[in-house]
């Protein structure tokens, strides 16, 4: 079995992608099982993994993206292929990555169908306990990153409110509102509360609130995510974190344009749901790659691949999540793996050119 690892292309002009799908450690795991790994030269540079490290661990370096695709039975990506890569995808390949086909271009989906591709989206793989073992570490990283990003955006030089997230004695802390109490929301809530911010978490599930109350060191205010409560907290928020996720579907709009107009000047919105359409009506992925912009005096941060900002950490985490699945593929083949490990089957959007997920029609 052969694995191909292309160098990731930028999603949009101005939105770089520094991650690589597999680290040198992961390559060693694959080659120790007699798999062949072909990696495009320079694929790991953004994450500080030089070509020599891949070669030492058994990979073959190739010098064109086309050759990576041509040699691979399985193309291992971080993000979905970009339009200039479509022509390299060959018949009946397996393609893996954060594909997000619900918001993908129609010509990409058509390419996968026409070429009889098996497309596996990391964002859909779910285990027996109902957890998403590949998405959740990425969400944890994004949640922890949100603090350092929000802190910079709130600074006066960034056009923010010029306040310190944790406050100081005699000066109140920032008011941070988090929509969604999943992995990302909880990671963000813990990080913000640990530096002294006042944190409000909104969700629809009481069980999530119980987890927060039981496991968090600092007090968190929890509220049901009703329209009434959302409208109320938006007005006083200094930072809003959009951490809503509906696997395989577009996220609902929870914050409207009218609500944005009621917010403080220089407040910050970070919509981490942007890959699935966003949970804020004014959120967008700009064709120019401008993922920080201002609407009605409110700073918006809508970067669809935020974990790439810590590419080395993210690549290590992604590799650790993927290797167990790839071991099964190498040892048992695709059909037996799908039979014996239904969680991988959960991740299939398209099976040998046949649409599996009805909501893509």
How many domains are there within the chain? 2
Looking at the structure, tell me whether residues 33 and 145 fall in a common domain: no
The 10 Å Cβ neighbour count of residue 342 is 12
The mean pLDDT of 231-235, rounded to a whole number, is 98
Looking at the structure, tell me whether residues 316 and 300 fall in a common domain: no
Kindly report, residue by residue over 18-40, the tens digit of the pLDDT.
Answer: 999 999 999 999 999 999 999 99
CA distances to 3, 5, 86, 306 from 94, rounded to whole Å, are: 10, 12, 14, 26
**pLDDT greater than 70 at residue 44:** yes
Mean pLDDT of the chain: 94
Residue 287: the pLDDT is 61
Q: How far apart are CA 190 and CA 194, in angstroms?
A: 6
Final residue of a structural domain among 284, 304, 324: 304
Residue 118 lies in a domain: yes
User: For tokens 């963000």, what's the residue?
Assistant: 188
| pTM score, whole prediction | 0.88
Looking at the structure, tell me whether residues 272 and 162 fall in a common domain: yes
Q: How far apart are CA 77 and CA 268, in angstroms?
A: 31
The 10 Å Cβ neighbour count of residue 210 is 11
């Amino acid at each position: 079995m052969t694995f191909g690892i292309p160098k990731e292309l930028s999603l949009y002009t101005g939105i770089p992608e520094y991650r690589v799908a597999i680290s040198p450690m992961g390559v060693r795991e694959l080659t120790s099982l007699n798999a062949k790994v072909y990696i495009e030269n320079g694929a790991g540079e953004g994450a500080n993994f030089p070509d020599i490290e891949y070669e030492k661990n058994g990979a073959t370096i190739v010098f064109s993206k086309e050759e990576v695709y041509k040699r691979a039975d399985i193309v291992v990506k971080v993000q979905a292929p970009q339009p200039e890569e479509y022509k390299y995808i060959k018949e009946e390949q397996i393609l893996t990555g954060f594909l997000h086909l619900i918001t993908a271009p129609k010509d990409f989906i058509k390419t996968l169908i026409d070429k009889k591709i098996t497309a596996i989206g990391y964002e859909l793989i779910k285990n027996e306990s109902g957890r998403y073992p590949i998405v959740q570490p990425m969400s944890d990283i994004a949640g922890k990153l949100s603090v350092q990003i929000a802190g910079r955006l709130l600074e006066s030089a960034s056009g923010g409110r010029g306040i310190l997230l944790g406050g100081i004695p005699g000066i109140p802390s920032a008011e941070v509102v988090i929509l969604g109490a999943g992995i990302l929301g909880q990671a963000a809530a813990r990080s913000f509360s640990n530096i002294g911010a006042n944190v409000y978490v909104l969700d629809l599930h009481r069980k999530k609130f119980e987890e927060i109350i039981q496991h968090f060191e600092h007090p968190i205010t929890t509220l049901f995510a009703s329209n009434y409560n959302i409208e109320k907290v938006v007005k006083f928020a200094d930072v809003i974190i959009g951490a809503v996720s509906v696997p395989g579907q577009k996220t609902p709009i929870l914050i409207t344009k009218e609500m944005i107009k009621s917010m403080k000047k220089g407040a910050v919105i970070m919509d981490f749901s942007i890959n699935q359409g966003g949970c804020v009506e004014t959120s967008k992925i700009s064709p120019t790659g401008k993922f920080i912009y201002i609407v009605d005096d409110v700073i918006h941060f809508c970067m669809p691949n935020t974990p790439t900002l810590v590419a080395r950490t993210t690549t290590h985490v992604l590799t650790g999540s993927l290797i167990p699945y790839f071991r099964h593929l190498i040892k048992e083949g695709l059909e037996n793996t799908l039979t014996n490990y239904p969680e991988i089957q959960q991740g299939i959007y398209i099976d040998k050119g046949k649409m599996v997920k009805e909501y893509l029609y």
